[in-house]
Amino acid sequence: MDWHKVVSKLFIIMIIVSAIGLFVLADDEPLQKVETDVDIVTKKAKTGLSEKKTKSASKSLAFPRFTRPDSFWRKKLTQGQYYVARKKGTEPAFSGAYWSHHDDGVYTCVCCGSPLFDSEAKFDSGTGWPSYWQVVDKSLIKLHPDITGGVIRKEVNCRICGAHMGHVFDDGPRPTGLRFCINSASIKFVPRKKMPEYLEKWREEIGLPALEKAVNGAISN
């Protein structure tokens, strides 16, 4: 019996089983911690998202999909943004615009503009990438298993447009213990004082007004 082939097959089976398990947990485990351990209501008030969203719409999948052809993204994004956000690339550590950025505001999806990370949840992880211990709202992101390179990770994507953000790890600070390791190329910063006006334009852009009843008034007026 060729033991090398047997071991190789067993290793492949273990990877597949682990990936399946990760897929089952990917959307729930880290985001459950965010919801239960953090005062989300306070964050919602500061970013412009309503308290009502916390209780109802975060469980809803009724958000519209902001789908566009590849040619649209190539024209809209820079080469670096396109590579990271649409092709799941990774920018070099300590090279992005936001890894050492400390202004007050919200980091939005570079593709569709969804508000994803609050500056008050940002911390210095020492990794060279922007890091956050929570998301603005879990209904705006989706996690996927990532087994590229033989390493099992949880990929973070914008739920609205599918843009690749980075990965989430379980080695972050309190209160969540999470580290959302995000590429600067995937996000765009909006100052806090500009958020009300920004959110109105964002709602129009992705078509939320027409679906307000369906999403239970997810975004505040």
pLDDT (tens digit per residue) in 137-184: 888 999 999 988 788 899 999 999 999 999 999 999 999 999 999 999
Report pLDDT digits (tens) over 66-116.
Answer: 889 999 999 999 999 999 999 999 999 999 999 999 999 999 999 999 999
Whose CA is closest to 159, among 136, 185, 175? 136
Choosing from 111, 112, 158, 181, which is the catalytic residue?
Answer: 181
Are 157 and 141 within 8 A, CB to CB? Answer: yes
Residue 138: other Cβ atoms inside 10 A: 21
Domain architecture of the chain: domains with CATH: 3-211 (2.170.150.20)
DSSP E strand boundaries for the chain: 105-109, 115-118, 122-123, 131-132, 141-146, 153-158, 164-169, 179-182, 187-191
Active site (annotated) includes residue 181: yes
